[in-house]
Amino acid sequence: MQERTERLKKMFCEIYGGSPDDLRIFASPGRVNLIGEHIDYCGGFVLPAALTLDTVIVMRVRKDRKIRLAATDLPDRVELDLDNLEPARNLKWGNYQAGVADELQKAGYTLVGADMLYDDTVPHGAGLSSSAAIEVATAFALAKTGFEHGGIDKNPDPVEMALISRRAENNFCGVSCGIMDQFASAMGKKDHAILLNCSTLEYRYVPLRLGKYCIILADTKKKRSLADSKYNERFAEVSKGLRILRNHLPQINNLCDMTPEDLKNHIDKIEDPVIRRRVEHVVMENARVHKSIEALEKNDIGLFGEYMKEAHESIRDLYEVTGPELDAMFEEALAVPGVVGARMTGAGFGGCTVNIVERDAADEFISVVGKNYEKRTGLKPAFYICDIGDGVREIVLR
């Protein structure tokens, strides 16, 4: 980290001038979701973990109300006015930051201007929540410096930063996402997954004791074009399913309040077969998260792997958000010896699969799956052996 931050401080001074002495550094990670897909916005349980791939912000507070943004991997330079954020809504880059500033101010935070340089190691568009990493890092940095401006030296509450970041994405960026990504980015803990109840935000950390296994992320490199509109379409479909079912089960507030038994008894109340498939995925996936936790707590990684496979099949056949590339990566992974589980992770329509692989078989996995996937799709994939890291924080260097 030291080497990276030194490089970034130097780059910051080249862009904005001044000395490196008054610079602050904040970081927030991307995430992988182990199981519980497309159910966070249905009040379900999810099991994400924060990555060590992250967004780092180097920042210097300004005396005015301007926020200037730059990134290490983009030519764009953006200037935001904290008193007039609306025009930033249509920016391709900078809209997340503007949305976060807007929601912080709406929640009553006093903000001060800043120059900021962003450095992301979370690959963009790979389904690993590079956007949540940017949002949560921005929220934490702006809230913390805002507090200090008012004379209070305290860290912002990470859960609140997650909620504010989600609202930014919902209200400013137009994606009806759930809370999972921002929560994982804010609350991640090294070597642990987070079992999160998305309806109450109760959570607990689950130690990831993988023994002879490791987690490998396989990036399909399929561009996630149209992903946001498809995502909102799924959100609308399950909302419709909930409306219909509530006529018969008035006690449910969310689809994930239903048990598999309720599903059996009431699914025929939904006429549209598409909505029926979506609802079936949601209820059964939520049940699968509970079974997965039991398996993980017994250290039965093999059984957890089986649930991962079921989860992929469900999201492929019932929720229909995978596509040929994710399915090819899933199939090629399962054909390799030493793989106990594989599934797509994140929103889908491209992005990554998550794989549980015997450590000794990791090199073989990367070379064989890489070759076979490329042969099938014409795309050159990327692989990351995954380390689980901490959530949002200020990095204080001595």
Least distance between ligand GLA and beta carbon 202 (Å): 17
User: Following CA atoms 38, 351, 356, 179 in sequence, which dihedral angle do they give, to the nearest 10 degrees?
Assistant: -30
**Axis crossing angle, helix 180-187 with helix 130-149, rounded to the nearest 10:** 60
Q: Which is nearer to ligand GLA, 129 or 372 (CB)?
A: 129
Residue 181 annotated as catalytic: yes
Binding residues for ligand GLA (CB under 6 A): 33, 37-38, 40-41, 129, 177-178, 180-181, 346-347
In the complex, the smallest distance separating the C-beta of residue 188 from ligand GLA, rounded to whole angstroms, is 15
Beta carbon nearer to ligand GLA, 15 or 226 = 226
| Nearest residue (CB) to ligand GLA, 275 versus 289 | 289
The rounded distance, in Å, linking the Cα atoms of 51 and 390 is 8
Contacts of 331 (CB under 8 A, 6+ apart): none
**Min dist. Cβ of residue 5 to ligand GLA (A):** 28
For the CB of residue 288, give the shortest distance to ligand GLA in the complex, in Å: 13
Per-position DSSP letters for 128-143, written without gaps between them? S-HHHHHHHHHHHHHH
**Which listed residue (54, 119, 120, 181) is catalytic?**
181
Query: 323 or 346: whose CB is closer to ligand GLA?
Result: 346
User: Residue 185: which of 39, 46, 32 has the closest Cα?
Assistant: 32
Residue 59 and residue 20: Cα distance in Å, rounded? Answer: 10
Q: Tell me the CA end-to-end span of the chain in Å, nearest whole number.
A: 12
**Structure tokens belonging to residue 242:** 């909930």
CA 163 – CA 343 distance, rounded (Å): 27
Residues annotated as part of the active site = 181
